[in-house]
Structure 1
């Protein structure tokens, strides 16, 4: 799964730490998400999307291999 978190953080002038605090996770979690090394829970995905006032589908790009 690919993500646009870094792009949206930049648009909102947020650091990884800012976003982490806003959604209640560690900064490392945001880093792992941005690198594609961690798939978030649905709850976390929704929290992050709401932080940027967008849908989960706008924030995360699902690929066919994600569903196999």
Structure 2
């Protein structure tokens, strides 16, 4: 594919990842602000946000390899 198309696809993937991160951080902030929730709930939310970050990076790498083999 053309370089411009590759750049557009990767930019779209990055922007989508930023949106997911904003939602994840907002959810984590909501979880932390609830006094009734235990440390286990906060740790679970943190682990989920970390796992989503790892998945996002893997998806961008795979997308880059698929678009420009």
Q: Same fold (TM over 0.5)?
A: no
- The structure that has the greater radius of gyration is 2
* TM-score of the aligned structures, taking structure 2 as reference length: 0.26
